[in-house]
Amino acid sequence: MEPETHIRVKNLNVYYGKDHVLRDVSINIPDKRVIVIIGPSGCGKTTLLRSFNRLVDTVDGVRVSGEVMVDEENIFDPHVELTHIRKKMGLLSQTPYPLPMSIYDNVAYGPRLHGIKDKKKLNSVVEHYLKIAGLWEEVKDKLHTPATQVSIGQQQRLCLARGLAVEPEIILADEPTSALDPKSSRHIEESFLRLKKDYTIIVVTHILRQARRLADYVIFLYCGELIEHGPARQVFESPREKMTREYIQGVIS
Amino acid sequence: MDRRRIEENIFKGLMIVSTIALCLILVLIVAAITFKGLPSMRLSMITQTPKGGFYLGKEGGILNAILGSIYLAGGATILALFLALPVVLYLNLYARRNGSIVRLVRFCLDVLWGIPSIVYGAFGFTIMLFFGLRASLLGGIITVALLILPIMCRAMDEVFSMVPRGLLEASYAVGATRWETALKVVVRQGLPGMITAVLIAFGRGIGDAASVIFTAGFSDAVPNSLFRPAATLPLAIFFQLGTPFPQVQNRAYASAFILTMIILFISITTRIVSRKYTRHIIK
């Protein structure tokens, strides 16, 4: 039985100039679990992730064909409202990028853009999402200090709170722990596991052990091609494809 | 081994000499205008307009030129800022990075930067003749704005191109439009750099004589209308030095001293102000 899905990718091809980065990828992303995209570097993991909220658009000379259906709407349709699509997804990048403003304003940034002006409402939104991201206790007394003054691990959780504050259904995370120390990484991983009952979380990682810890569902890409996807246990324990097995065993990288 | 050490020492010496020379030039300029100008410095220099015979006055002050310069450079800076900001935001947020349009615009800005200010003056004058305008504060403001526009654009361009892409993406990712991102993230992040750019442009504008000689003209009165001629400090210095009277010539150095002090004052205050805004900047 196919699980329910928000995101359906159909024959997605992405080119950067002459480079064919994603080759004919088709997949249904299951809902409300952690989906991990694995594969060697340069295989298109990040590009696939960034196709989901059309951040690939910001790359010069990019060309896309095929469809990414989010809630039955093809997001690559030229008539689509981009901000609306992006609002549905929170993004965590490799290095945290807090906005050049206070901790409070970082979380309130999205809600304000989307029309929440009421001070009390904003206060409660900020508190709520900082709590969800597991940061509230550490920053509640310095909400109005610059976001750059907290540690990098806290910054990444702040970015998570900022992303969640626009009430997305999906969290996109591109190697979200690669710049963090082990303890901060664990914080992030723990919040993913906590959040997966409410959100669909798509994580790109090149750390296989992290993939094993997090994944409910695994997507394996190699040279821009979707080699295998399926429930984590199946892919890790008994992969169908020889290439997947070799990658998991560390024969190819 | 020894040869390499000698090389190292020669190079080190060269660097030290150059750096000292640079600082010395500044000190000498300030010293020269201070020593030659201070004897003529009186409070009346900055509180009165020229008086007392001779061409451009051996008494009174240069209040007309001080205010004229501040109005003119201030007006030109504001005008240039309104033109520069959209250009720079377009180059860095909307246009394709390093696309042909962007390269063309940057090339134009570099060429414009290199055009001597007298050419801007002549150009401004031609335009004013075309519209039947006389030399006026407004004419000067527009001409100087054109003169400092490329400087401001390139300085701000440099600042905005340093804004990390991840920062833009972070803003896009929560559903911000480019305009919102420009206004709330890029301008904030670039604010200290923008202030510096504005300062550089203002300094260039207030110090330029050639572009205003035809377009703003000169007047002994404190400027009170955009459509009347206005005096400026560089021209005041030029005219004072050009007189055959030593008393008036010495006052040129006092004027130069005042001009330098104004620039110094603005430079220092902007630094203090911009420091206040750097606390949120993402490094």
Specify the number of domains making up chain B: 2
pLDDT score at B21: 97
A49 touches chain B (CB under 8 A): no
Tell me the CA end-to-end span of chain A in Å, nearest whole number.
32
Contacts of A143 (CB under 8 A, 6+ apart): A102, A103, A104, A126
The distance of Cα B221 from the centroid of its chain, to the nearest Å, equals 24
Whether the CB-CB separation of B211 and B135 falls below 8 Å is answered with no
Q: Give the distance, in angstroms, between the CA of residue B266 and the centroid of all CA atoms in the same chain.
A: 11
- Report the pLDDT value the prediction gives residue B55, as an integer from 0 to 100: 54
ipTM for this model:
0.90
B244 and B148 in a common domain: yes
pLDDT tens by residue, A117-140: 999 999 999 999 999 999 999 999
Mean pLDDT of B108-133: 92
Using a CB–CB cutoff of 8 Å, tell me whether A178 touches chain B.
Answer: no
* Same domain for B119 and B257: yes
Counting every residue, how long is chain B? 283
The answer on B185 and B55 residing in a single domain is yes
Residue A1 reports pLDDT greater than 50: no
DSSP string, A168-234: -SEEEEESTTTTS-HHHHHHHHHHHHHHTTTSEEEEE-S-HHHHHHH-SEEEEEETTEEEEEEEHHH
The H or E element containing residue B112 is helix B100-114
Taking the C-alpha atoms of residue B175 and residue A80, their distance in angstroms, rounded to an integer, is 13
B283 lies in some domain: no
| DSSP one-letter code for B223 | P
Rounded to a whole number, what is the distance in Å from the CA of B171 to chain A's nearest CA? Answer: 8
Q: Residue A39 gets which letter from DSSP?
A: -
Q: Are residues B173 and A114, on separate chains, in Cβ contact within 8 Å?
A: no
What is the DSSP annotation of B149-204? HHHHHHHHHHHHHTS-HHHHHHHHHTT--HHHHIIIIIHHHHHHHHHHHHHHHHHH
Sort B202 into a burial class: Cβ within 10 Å, 0-12 / 13-18 / 19+.
Answer: buried
What six digits make up the tokens of B163? 């804004």
Q: A91 vs B98: CB contact, 8 Å cut-off? A: no
Asked if the model's pLDDT at residue B117 lies above 90, the reply is yes
Q: Please give the average per-residue pLDDT across B143-148, as a whole number.
A: 96
Q: Return the structure tokens found at B49.
A: 């307009």
B210 and B77 in a common domain:
yes
Cβ pair A40, A206 in contact under 8 A: yes
* DSSP letters for A62-75: EEEEEEEEETTEET
d(CA A111, CA A134): 19
Cβ contacts of A156 on chain B, cutoff 8 Å: none
CA–chain centroid gap for B259, Å, is 12
Residue B127 predicted with pLDDT over 60: yes
Using the structure block, give the residue that is written with the tokens 């203090």: B272
Mean pLDDT of B4-17: 94
Mean pLDDT over residues A141-159, rounded? Answer: 93
Q: Is residue B159 part of a domain?
A: yes
Is residue B9's pLDDT more than 60? yes
Q: Do both B180 and B273 map to the same domain?
A: yes
User: Minimal Cα–Cα distance from A249 to chain B, Å?
Assistant: 33
Nearest residue in B to A53, CA atom: B173
Q: Check residue B52 and give its pLDDT.
A: 66
pLDDT at B138: 92
Backbone angles phi, psi at A59, to 5 degrees: -80, 135
Query: Which residues in chain A are closer than 8 Å to B170, comparing Cβ atoms?
Result: 91, 93, 97-99, 159, 162
- Please tell me the predicted confidence (pLDDT) of residue B1: 67
- Say if B148 falls within a structural domain: yes
Smallest Cα distance from B89 to chain A, Å: 15
Let me know: does A66 contact A10? Beta carbons within 8 Å. Answer: yes
Whether A2 shows a pLDDT value over 60: the answer reads no
Q: With left for phi above 0 and alpha for psi between -120 and 50, is residue A177 left, alpha or beta?
A: alpha
B54 near B248, Cβ under 8 Å? yes
| Domain enclosing residue B28, as ranges | 3-40
Residues B129 and B144 in one domain: yes
The distance of A46 to chain B (nearest Cα, Å) reads 14
Interchain contact, B280 vs A114, CB within 8 Å: no
Q: Which residues of B touch A53 (CB under 8 A)?
A: 173
Q: Is the Cβ pair B173, A55 closer than 8 Å? A: yes
Report angle CA A53, B172, B181 to the nearest 5 degrees: 165
How many angstroms separate the CA atoms of A247 and B3, rounded?
A: 54
**pLDDT bracket for residue B53 (50, 70, 90):** low
Asked if the Cβ–Cβ distance from A93 to B166 is below 8 Å, we say yes
Interchain CB contact of B280 with A (< 8 Å): yes
User: Pick from B98, B175, B283: which is nearest to A113 by CB?
Assistant: B175
Residues B147 and B215 in one domain: yes
Structure tokens, B56: 């451009």
Is residue B229 located within the same domain as residue B258?
yes
Q: Which of residues 113-172 of A touch B (CB under 8 A)?
A: 113-114, 146-148, 159, 162-163, 165-166, 172
pLDDT tier at B196, thresholds 50, 70, 90: confident
Per-residue b or e along A122-142, where b marks 16 or more CB atoms closer than 10 Å to that residue's CB: beebbbebbebbbbbeebeee
Binding-face residues of B in 77-116 toward A, CB within 8 A: 96-99
- Mean residue pLDDT across chain B: 89
Whether B195 and B95 share a structural domain: yes
- In the prediction, which pLDDT does A249 show? 87
Asked if the C-beta of A230 comes within 8 angstroms of chain B's C-beta atoms, the answer is: no
From A88's Cα to the closest Cα of chain B, the distance in A is: 8
Residue B214 vs residues B67, B126, B148, B239: alpha-carbon distances, Å: 18, 10, 17, 14
**Residue B27 sits in the same domain as residue B62:** no
Same domain assignment for residues B31 and B154: no
> Does position A20 have pLDDT exceeding 80, yes or no?
yes
> Is the CB of residue B49 less than 8 Å from the CB of residue B63?
yes
Long-range contacts of A234-242 (CB under 8 A, 24+ apart): A236/A212
Residue B183: pLDDT over 50: yes
List CB contacts (< 8 A) between B164 and chain A.
Answer: 97
| Average pLDDT, integer, range B39-63 | 76
A209: its two tokens? 């052990």
- Name A13's bridge partners: A65
Q: What pLDDT digit, counting tens, does each position of B199-255 carry? A: 889 999 999 989 998 899 888 888 888 898 899 999 999 988 888 888 888 888 999
Position A13, amino acid: N
Residue B235: CB atoms within 10 A of its CB come to 22
Classify residue B113: in a domain, yes or no: yes
B8 occurs within a structural domain: yes
Model confidence over A63-94: pLDDT tens digits? 999 999 988 889 999 888 888 888 888 899 99
CATH number at residue B151: 1.10.3720.10
- Nearest CA to CA, how far is A74 from chain B (Å)? 17
Same domain, B81 and B182: yes
